[in-house]
Structure formats: structure tokens, C-alpha cells
Structure 1
Amino acid sequence: MDRTDGAGAPAGSGLPLAWRDQSHVLDRLVTAVWIFDIDHCRVVWANAAALDAWSAPSLAELQARDLKADMSPAVARRLRQYQGDFISHDATFTEIWTLYPHSVPRPLEVRLSGALLDDDRMAMLCEARDEASLQPEALRSADALLHTKLMISLHDLDGRTLYCNPAARASFDTPHQDLPSRFLHRRDYERMMEQIHSDAEAGLIAEVICAAGQRWHELTARSCHDPVSGRPSILVSETDVTELKEAEALAQSRAHHDPLTGLPNRLAMPARFGALVRKAEQRGARIGVLFIDLDQFKAVNDTLGHLHGDGVLMEVARRLSELRCEDDAVIRLGGDEFLFLATEGPEEPDRVEALAKRILERLALPVHGERRKLMVTPSVGIACFPHHGTNAQILMQRADLAMYEAKSGGRNQYRFFDETMRNQREEELELLADLREALRAGHILPYYQPRYSPCTRRVVAVEALARWMHPERGLILPSEFIPLSEKSGLINQIGLTILEQAVRQRCEWQRQGMDVSVSVNVSLRQLCEADFAATVQRILEADGCDPRRLELEVTETLLLEENPAVARNLEKVRLLGIRIAIDDFGTGYSNLARLNEMAVDCIKIDRSLIQGLPRNEEIVRLVIAMCNFMQVTIVAEGIETLAMAEWAHRHGCHELQGYFYSCPVEAGQMEGLLRGEPGLAQPARTRAWIGDQIGRTRIVTAPA
């Protein structure tokens, strides 16, 4: 019979049409039965026992409740899973659920099955038995399994699925997906099972196949028993770590790739080399390690800017990649250094050398700026596996040595490593260690060479030249240690210590009544330092030196550089009153416009032109005429004979410098020359000549 609830609604309202004839029977059951509309999250019908379970005064009041308002996302996902399983294979489930009518917990054991509504939507039929006698721990564990994001599943030893919590059910590709089919790689499953059989538990990170596609899961598996059948089983808990693995892969990729060129970087080199070695050993091939350094690249950065420099590096990377075959690798080591790992099989015995020639051709790059054009070329050093070594780092070091030989030989060429290079390198490293100690101990000293004025017949200036007094090897000349200091970055420190000592010595001579100017060589690296001019000013002020008595000598090659930092420093030191001299003039291309812009005070004609007299007399006369036109002081270097001295004086050179007057000497000997002691440091032929002459070129001190 029909029952009317307190709101007047018939007891059968909300029931599917096919069930309404049995509504009076359902209403008399002591088992709580209700139908839940999964789509709208509302109870559409409940018997009297269900109203009691929900603490509802009437069916209408229970139907009016919006159960979605307090529903957790985990429960909502679980209900959608139920709905899908009801539709796909008429599934049934028995679980412990806790209702919360008016926020009061009501634990129930509920059998869940599908119920088709009149509009053909799938709802859920719930048959509940009171589970108030269950222990709190059991209720809480059941609730935790429902809400946790941890995927928990139970499987028999053959991998068939016995149970999935909601999170695992959402992850599994199908409701009954077995455990082996979860793994993308069968070996991961087999490895896990081996661990379980030996240790009763296993842990691993593996790629799995699930509803979301291919993912990375961290799995923990333990041997246990099925609580229903008592048979041995496997309990698996899983966490999705795909985002973490992707982040690790991205970080790994970034750590092992150069962000500018996209090439593998220095960190990637050992792995790339190892992979190529394994392939080469199978083929009986060898591997050429080609160390590539760009010539004149610093000039691109300094004169055209780092954007131009980056463009050159990207173009180099592109061209090298075009030369790469399948079993090769191109690596950017940093700066303007690249590594090409080339496989040379038995069928192509000369491939490495042919490749080196191609690299020389392909990397000869003209670089255009707004006002000038530069040419970047490569120097290439080559070491081969296994002939020159089997270790990646050793091969790279030996290729590096060969590359420096290529640079020393004139650049834009390649060299193969040989043992003499290693011996040279070891000597160089030993010398470099000694050089660092020499700077610390004050063994780098200025020697002084006079500049003689034939008109006034006196020394008007001295040039400070770096010398190294080695405690064991004695005097070491600049030709041995200056190139090493430039390569190692110590040239700035050497230049600074010579400048400080020369200025201090000049002030000491001044206090003794000997007024003489001092000239000091400065390198391009020093002039590129932003604070160079300020450093010079500080040195002058510390010793109270007249800036007009200091001359800085720069090489003619600086005329080719349009470096803003160099230009600013030269302008600042000139404003201090310091003179600028061009050293070794006439040995290279002279940009006359640039020379005028620099407004130099002195030009020193290179010794090679003077010593080529009289063969190249016309060239030297042309240089002198140009210098006279610019109204600068002209110094003839390399004067070694009376004939040279007389020719230079007769043709208008203002000052003469060379071994004819004195070789570079230490400060004490120079002081003797300044005091008027002729011939103290001259070679025998010079001393004899000075003694025989009527004093017209006798070295005398300038008046105070």
C-alpha cells in the first residue's frame, strides 16, 4: 500500500517506474535502502529504515538535501567510477561508508549496485547494514582509503586485481587491469617480483600505463594475504611522480646543454664520449677529439659587442652541426671553445684530418660591424682514441695542447698531438707556478733602457721593461714569460707591478736631482679594464709623481681596435697629463685616421725598420715624414751602430734607443748612467766608441 510522508508526498515518488508496485514491500524492510541520483547528488527515494539512517523526518526533507555541498572530491570521483562500472558491466560493490546526517557520523556497510531511472540515467541502489560495532580504527582506515590520493591496490600472485581504492581505480586503464599490464617495460615488473620473492617487499620508480596515458609512478609492493580468501597476495601503493621526473629531465637537459647554441656542454662530454667509444670498439674505429678555439673572437666582443659575439657563436655551432655525422658529437665547452668528437672507421682512414680541413674552411667567418669588418678563424688541436689515450679528459687535454700549438704556429690551422707538446706543457705549467710565486715574492722587476737625445746630448727618458729574477734560473727575459702571462691572465698583474715600481723609481731619481721621464708598456688587457685610468691616477698620487713625466706605450695593433673601454681609458690618462706613445710602429697596418683620433704624443719606429737600413731607407723616411706631419716626438728603436745613430739623427729622429747606448739595466746601473758615468752598461764596442768620440753622443744626465 502507498505511504504518505509528513510533507504529503507519496511513498513511491522518486522510485523507478518498474519498482513502484513493490514500494510497500521495500518500505517495510528493516534494511536501509535508498536510491542515490549520482548526477544530481540527491537521494531520490528511501525506505523508512533509510530515513532513520539519514536522520530524516520525511522523504521530502531528505530529497531536498543537496549532498554535493559537503561532498569531498574523492567521494565525487568514486561515485563517478561506480556509475561507469554499473553501466559497463553491472558491477556491485560492498564497502564501509560513513554518512554524516547533521554532521553526526553514521558508519554503515553498504552494498552498492546500479538502478536505472525513468529518464535512463544510471543511479545507485544502496543497501545498508548498521556497522556501529566496528572498531574506530577500522572505520577510519576505510575512510582514509576512500579519500587518499595514494593509489592502493591488491593483486594475487598472478597479477589479477582483487581490490582498488578510488585513487587506484581512477588510475587503472580498466577496472580489472592486471598488474603486469600496468608496466610499460616488462623488465620493471619482473624486477619488482624478484625483489618481492627475495625480500617480501620492493620499491621502484617505473613507467606505467594508466587511464591518463603513460606516466611515471613510484611503487611500493609488499607480500601479504588476501583477507577474504587467505591466499598470498601483493599489496601495491603508488604515487604519480611524473611532474617530478619531467622536472628532473628538464633540469638534466638544461644542465647538460648550452643555452645559447643548444649544443651539449662540458658536463655532457663524458657520456657522449663513452657512447661513441662503445660503438667505435664494435666497428674497430677510432675517435678524433678536435679541440676548436676561435681566433680573434675577443676582438669581436670588445669592438662589436656581445650580441655580435653571440651571433658568431650560434653560427659556428650551426656550421659544426652541419659537418656532424650520425656517430659524431659537437660540444660547446664554454666561451669560444668547441669540441668535435668524430668517428673514423676502417673504411675512411683519413676522415679526421679531412674534417679538420673542412672546419678551417667552414669557420672562416667575416664579421661585419657598423664601421669595420673582422675575420674570425679557428685553431684546431686533435688527439685520437685510442692512440693518444683512452680517457676523455686526457684526450681533451692533449687536443687542447695541440690547439695551442696551432695558435703558436700562426693560427687558422690544425695540429695533431705529439709527446713533445706534453713535455712543453709540463714545463709551461712549472714556469707558470714559478711566475705566480715571483709576483708574490717581488721577483718581477723593471729594467731600464735609456732614450738619448742627439740634439741635447743627454738621456731624456728611460723605458721600463719587465724582467724576472728567478732564484734558480737567474734572469728570465720577457720573451719567455710575457706570452705565458697573457695566456694565463697574469699580464695585468705584471703590468701593474712594473708601473708601480717605475713610478716610484722615477720619483726617487727626481729627489736625487735627476729629472728624467719614464715610459711603461701597457697591454690591451690592462686598457680594457674599466678602472685602469683610476688605477694609474692612484699610483701617481701615492708617490707624488708629475703625470707629465710618465709615458704609456701601446702597440700599433691597438690602432686596429675600436674598443670603447680602451678609448675611454686613453682619453682619461691624457686628461691627467700623461703622454701616449705608439711602440713598434711600422710593423703592421696603421690606421692613420685612428692614429689622429688617439692624439698620440710619441711614435717609436720599430727596430726592424731601423736595422733594415739602408735597404729600406725610403720607407723609414716616409714614416718619419708622416710623424713630422703629425707633430709627434719620433724615437728610433734598435740603434746598434754609429751609422744607424747618425742616419736617424740626420733624418729627423728626436730620440734614439738601442744597445748602441745601453742594453736594459737594473735601477742601480741606470742611476750610474744618469749621473754621467758613460759606458757603464754598454757592450765593448759601444764603450770603445764612446771613449773615442769627442763627446757628441756621450751619455750625460739631464740637468735638474
Structure 2
Amino acid sequence: MMNPLPLRREPISSEAPHNATTCAKGILDQLQLAVWIFDIDQGRVVWANAKALEIWAAASLEELCARNMAADMSPAVERRLRQYQADFVASAATFTEMWTLYPKGTPRPMRVRFSGVQLSDGRMGMLCEGSEELGLQPETIRSADALLHTQLMISMHDVSGRTLYSNPSARGSFAENYVDFSSRFVRRSDFRRLLKALEAEGEVSHIVKVRTSHGSRWHEITARACRDPVSGVPSILVSETDVSELKEAEAVASSQAHHDPLTGLPNRLALRSLFERLAERNERSGRGLALLFIDLDQFKAINDTLGHDQGDALLMEVSRRLLCLKEAGDAVVRLGGDEFLFLASTRKKSPKRIERLAGQILKSLAAPVEGACRPMNVTPSIGIALYPDHARDIHSLMRYADLAMYSVKANGRNQFRFYDDGLRSQREHELEMISDLREALRSDQFVVFYQPRYSVQENRIVGVEALIRWRHPEHGLVAPGHFIPVAESSGLIGQIGEYVLREALRQNAEWRKQGIELEMSVNVSLRQLRSPDFPRLVSKILRQYGCPPASLELELTETALFEDDAVIHANLKALRTEGVRIAIDDFGTGYSNLARLSEVSVDCIKLDRSLIQDFARNRPILRMVIAMCKFMEVTIVAEGVETRDMAAWTAEHGCHELQGYYFSKPVPACEILPLLDQTFSTAADQMSATYVI
């Protein structure tokens, strides 16, 4: 290391030196250049010539050496001195910079040349040679000081990337390995992009990832084309700010915005980019992509009965099970509520993997989920659309998969179906019908017909079943089988069901005023039964028309009765407590589980018409079902009785009431009264057995 002073390699002090040293000191003291040696580690001056003592406003060398300059040294100055020290150790480096000294608090701007000097104990100190800069503009002084203290990283580089200058903040941020500007960039393409923009615009600002002494960081780099004020060569002036915390906050915010907070799955906002990425990857590999639209059946009932905490627990378990089925190249998305998407890679023109996957999803989600109070059960309905076979954009695929899922819902749920073109025209027809149904409700286009129920023991009509018809302005009288499924799926069934209930009880009240007492049967949908307010609605309408609760019988299917739904069971209990009768419709072809039947109280069981109409072949089954009903001590009604033989056989084998075209088809209310006086044999002579309902 250079040692510019002809001093002994002993501690530099102010003690009396020998003659040669005294001579050298005398020469140095005569210089108009201030010279002093600074111990960077101790933060003290260890030697100074006379001009330096004057600059530092020190009465003596001893007084100057006693000053602890580290006590009020700013962090920026300390970092800069440590950078100098490291460079002095590494090489014979020198630096000339504008500094402002503060002897006893008075600012003195100086141009100082710094070089390394080895102290007597082997540590690296710093030789300082300073000359006062008189007449400098305040802006010049302040700008030099700002460059020293600012946290902004300022550097200058030639067009090849070689670093010409770095302020302390820049020096501290970039290790020696990254002294070349281009080597800072994590992606070389970012450097090339910056140079190209500089060439075109002269100034550019980019946020890029760079390598620093603290690892990879995000910096906002502002670069401007300029010339080096020393050599005049074309250069790049760079200022940088660390924006890593901002980028991390943005990443967290983006992640939160694009992920479902409950399950952690990507959400609807993330779907588009996720789909495009998977589709592009599969296109390159010659593979296709399937979109499985998964909707949980009867999930609302869990939220309504067990609470949203249990519903959330179920959704988290569903997402976990779906993730367990995910393979490389797949993705699971939660759209919201109880709707999920499964994006699955597949071979083009070969849906075998998708069929297998759909079956696995059905099986996995059907397994009970342990809840806080009791196990929870849901089943999925799955609609499937294929990319690129059915569509190439995510919105069309979702629409087509939704149509397929909608078809599954309409056909019993807990299944999967692939989209086909027929579904689109079917859906368009359904949408048109939904619009017509809304208009029908507004325009009072619905009417109620009544079909008699004949008592075998009393040999007369004892009740009627209310059956809705739609007087369509273009298509005439429309049977319920054509529009009730659409009303169910669209949610209009609640309004239609309430209309039938009101009209039936209004008519019953009118007959009662005429002295005619008939039991009124009204069909009830699952959607109505799932409404917590349904019992109150029934009670309100009964009171409105003054009908005894026992005169009303609500018919529901076996499926509805055996739903694992606490709201349904609570509603049925409340209705029976009110005095309303409960009947099971279409019994004998569904669950027909005696153990389950014993858990619920019903008043009437109506045998399914398909069993009755083929009674010759179904006699063993009918005998068993009738025996089961007798065991339960309920009223047994045979539906679909169309011939004398059907009537005779069902009456002989224990059915209490008979209903069907043999007695009467459904008719308007005005046609019921003439039927009340007819006996069994009269009805048999007059009615045809060839009607089709």
C-alpha cells in the first residue's frame, strides 16, 4: 500500500519525532494543501498538517486527535468511508469528491482526494488531501452533499455497461460482481429492452428484478442518455429506487384478489389467465382441455339448517377432495358459493380420462363429511365441455358446461353429462318458456283442474287432487309435465305452487259453503318444502279461506320425504302439528324403505300409477307394498286406475281410495259437482279407459 508520508511504521502520534521526521513535518506544514490521516475504524484524525488544523479549527494536533468524529457521523458518511476502506484494501484506489466538513459546526466545502494509508498496527487508514472550493454556488454544494446522503442509488455507466461512478447508496446496494451495469439484471432481456427504449426515447423508466448485495430485489430504474462530464463519451445516468416491498404488497393484493379466501383456490378473476395458460401449454403438446362445471346439490339446505360455519367447513373439504384428484396440467377453481370448476388435461378426441375423472369426483364428493353435530352429505352435478372441440374461449366453454350441468340437475342430479348441440337449442327453448311462465303468472293464465278420489268403503267421491294447467295464448291447454320441470329449475315453482294452494283452498271453501265437504290434495315441490316460511304460508291461507287444516292434504314425493334436510323435516312436523295431512305420492318405485318411512309420520300413501297400470305383472310387488302400507296404518290410494279390472283388484287387495280415468279425468271445478252423486258402477259404465294423462 502507498504511504505518502515519510514516517516510521510506528503509531502515528504527536510525540516529538527524530530529525528526518521533523524536517518532513516542517515541509508538510508549509503546504497550502490540507493533509490529514483519518483512522476509519476509530473515527478519529491521527495526524494533520498545519493547514488541516486551520481547516478543522483545531488549536493543536492533540486537540484535533482527541475529537471523536464518529459520534455525530451520519450513516451515509459511515457507509461511504467503509466503501473507501474496502477499495483501499483491494487495490490502490483513489477518490476525488466534493465533501462538506463541519469543524465546530461550521460548513466548509472542500474537494478532497482520498487514498489508502496503512497505519502502524497494520489496519487500513485514509490519507485525505483537501483544498477549499471557494465561490461555489449553494446549489452545487448541496447537490454534492445530497448525492452522498441520499438513499436514491445514483450511478453512471458507459454504453457498454462499465460503471463510471456510483454514489454511496448505489455502492452499498451492488456487490463488486455487479459493477458492470448489465450484470445487475436478473433477466438480460430487461437490459436489452432498456437500451432499446433509451435509443428511441432518450429517457426511460422500468421496474425490473436486479441482483444486489442483499439478494434479488425489485428496482424502479430511471435511465437517461447523457455524456460523461470527465471523458465526454456517451453514457447512461441511472437512478434506482428499491420497490420490493411495494411489489410484494402488490403480489399479496393480487393473490388475495385472484384467490378464494376460504379455500385458497384460484377464483373467477384468475380463471381467464389460468385457462389461457393451460390451453396454450396443451396446444403445444397436442393435448386438449376439459372444463368440468361442478355444482353441489342441496348445499343451501346445509347453510340454512347447520349454519354458514358448517357450510364453509364442507366447502373446504370439497376443495381438498378435488385437489386430491388433480394431476399435472390440471387446475381447480372456486367460482363462488357451491360452484367449482375442474380444468383437466386430456387427449384430443378421447374423453376417457374425463369420464373416469367425473366418476371419481361423483364418488369422492358423495362420501359424508364429518360436521360438528352430524355428518353432512352433498352430491355433485357435473357438466362438461371440451376445448377445442366445443369452444376455444373460456366464456363459451363455461356456458356450454353450465348447460350440461343444468341438464343433469333437471334429470335427477348426482350425475355428469358432456355438452352437445342439442342442449343449446333445449336451453333456448327453456329460456323462452321461463319468460312465458313469468308472463303467465302476471296475466293469470294458470287454471286448476280437479281429479276425484273414490272411497271404496263409502262408495263415493271423498276428495279431489288439485292439478294445474296452463292456458297458453298460442299453444292452448298445456299439461304440467311440460312446464313444471322448467318452473322447478328456474325457481318459479314457489310462485306457481302458492297459486295452486290458494286457488285450491279458495275452491274448497266455496264448496263448503254449498255444504260439500271434500278433502283437498295439493302437490308440493322440494323448493317449497325447503322454505322455512312454508308452514306459516299454509297456515295463513287456511285461515284466510276458513278451511279446517284436516281438509288439506299435501302430497310430496318419496325423494322429498327422504331428503336429509332438517328444514324439510321441521316443516313437515310443523304442518302435521297444525293438523294438515301429509301424503307420499308415486310410492313404490323409488326408495320405498320401510325403516325410513317409520321415521316420519304420514297420513296417506299413493301407489305409483306405473304399478297399477301393469297390475297383472306387478301383483307380487303390489301385494308387498300394500302390506307395508297396512303395517303403517295409513290411507292407501291407488293412482292411475283406468279399467274395471284395475279398480276391482286394488279394492279387493286393501286400497282404501282409487283415483284415475276410470272414475274421471282432471276436470274444471264446475264439472266436479255432477260426479259426486255417481256410484262406482255408474262411473264404470260412463267413463272410458282410454284417456292418457
In the superposition, the TM-score normalised over structure 1's length comes to 0.79
CA deviations on 1:223-259 (whole Å, 9 max, x unpaired) are 2222333333211122223333344445545555567
Q: Aligned match of 1:158 in 153, 157, 160? A: 160
Displacement after TM superposition at 1:687 (Å): 12
Structure 1, 389-398 or 533-542: larger mean CA deviation:
533-542
Shift in CA distance, 649/595, structure 1 to aligned 2, threshold 3 Å: same
Output the CA distance in 2 between the equivalents of 1:27 and 1:262: 75
CA deviations on 1:208-233 (whole Å, 9 max, x unpaired) are 22222333222221122223333332
Q: Which amino acid aligns with 1:367?
A: A
CA deviations on 1:423-446 (whole Å, 9 max, x unpaired) are 223222322333344445554555
Structure 1, 110-119 or 235-244: larger mean CA deviation:
110-119
Q: Aligned match of 2:384 in 375, 381, 386? A: 381
Shift in CA distance, 572/25, structure 1 to aligned 2, threshold 3 Å: farther
Alignment match, 2:99: 97
Q: Which amino acid aligns with 2:153?
A: M
Shift in CA distance, 451/336, structure 1 to aligned 2, threshold 3 Å: same
In structure 2, stretches of 5+ residues that fail to align are 1-11, 687-693
Alignment match, 1:234: 236
Displacement after TM superposition at 1:477 (Å): 2.9
Output the CA distance in 1 between the equivalents of 2:423 and 2:406: 9
Q: Spell out the pairing of 1:289-300 with structure 2 (5 A cutoff).
A: 289-291=290-292, 293=294, 298=299
Alignment match, 2:151: 149
Output the CA distance in 1 between the equivalents of 2:189 and 2:421: 48
Alignment match, 1:429: 431
Alignment match, 1:287: 288
Q: Which amino acid aligns with 2:674?
A: E
Q: Aligned match of 1:630 in 629, 632, 635? A: 632
Alignment match, 2:355: 356
CA deviations on 1:17-59 (whole Å, 9 max, x unpaired) are x999855655565544444443344445555554554555666
Q: Aligned match of 2:347 in 338, 344, 364? A: 344
Alignment match, 2:683: 690
CA deviations on 1:273-292 (whole Å, 9 max, x unpaired) are 54555566666x46253535
Shift in CA distance, 564/176, structure 1 to aligned 2, threshold 3 Å: closer
Q: Which amino acid aligns with 1:344?
A: R
Displacement after TM superposition at 1:12 (Å): 1.7
Q: Spell out the pairing of 1:126-145 with structure 2 (5 A cutoff).
A: 126-131=128-133, 133-145=135-147
Shift in CA distance, 41/456, structure 1 to aligned 2, threshold 3 Å: farther
Q: Which amino acid aligns with 1:214?
A: S
Alignment match, 1:697: none
Alignment match, 2:581: 579
Q: Aligned match of 2:317 in 290, 311, 314? A: 311
Q: Spell out the pairing of 1:240-251 with structure 2 (5 A cutoff).
A: 240-251=242-253
Displacement after TM superposition at 1:155 (Å): 1.6
Displacement after TM superposition at 1:198 (Å): 1.9
Shift in CA distance, 333/437, structure 1 to aligned 2, threshold 3 Å: farther
Alignment match, 2:173: 171
1:351 match: secondary structure: coil
Confirm or deny: 8 A CA contact 1:454 1:656 kept in the other structure: yes
2:136 match: secondary structure: coil
Alignment match, 1:483: 485
Output the CA distance in 2 between the equivalents of 1:72 and 1:445: 91
Shift in CA distance, 631/177, structure 1 to aligned 2, threshold 3 Å: same
Alignment match, 1:367: 367
Shift in CA distance, 88/535, structure 1 to aligned 2, threshold 3 Å: farther
Q: Spell out the pairing of 1:15-414 with structure 2 (5 A cutoff).
A: 26=28, 29-47=31-49, 49-55=51-57, 67-68=69-70, 70-100=72-102, 104-131=106-133, 133-174=135-176, 177-253=179-255, 255-256=257-258, 266-275=268-277, 278=280, 285=286, 287-291=288-292, 293=294, 298=299, 306=311, 307=313, 310-321=316-327, 328-332=329-333, 334=335, 335=338, 337-344=340-347, 351-353=350-352, 355-357=354-356, 359-360=358-359, 363-365=362-364, 367-368=367-368, 379=382, 381-383=384-386, 385=388, 387-402=389-404
Output the CA distance in 1 between the equivalents of 2:129 and 2:546: 104
2:93 match: secondary structure: coil
Shift in CA distance, 75/626, structure 1 to aligned 2, threshold 3 Å: same
Identity fraction in percent: 51
Displacement after TM superposition at 1:544 (Å): 6.1
Displacement after TM superposition at 1:202 (Å): 1.8
Output the CA distance in 2 between the equivalents of 1:13 and 1:503: 121
CA deviations on 1:419-477 (whole Å, 9 max, x unpaired) are 33332232223223333444455545554444444445665444344444433333333
Displacement after TM superposition at 1:200 (Å): 1.2
In structure 1, stretches of 5+ residues that fail to align are 1-9, 694-704
Output the CA distance in 2 between the equivalents of 1:19 and 1:499: 120
In the superposition, the TM-score normalised over structure 2's length comes to 0.80
Shift in CA distance, 91/688, structure 1 to aligned 2, threshold 3 Å: farther
Structure 1, 217-226 or 107-116: larger mean CA deviation:
107-116
Structure 1, 264-273 or 612-621: larger mean CA deviation:
264-273
Structure 1, 372-381 or 129-138: larger mean CA deviation:
372-381
Displacement after TM superposition at 1:556 (Å): 0.8
Shift in CA distance, 190/308, structure 1 to aligned 2, threshold 3 Å: closer
Confirm or deny: 8 A CA contact 2:362 2:415 kept in the other structure: no
1:677 has 2:679 as partner:
no
Confirm or deny: 8 A CA contact 1:152 1:236 kept in the other structure: yes
Shift in CA distance, 404/12, structure 1 to aligned 2, threshold 3 Å: same
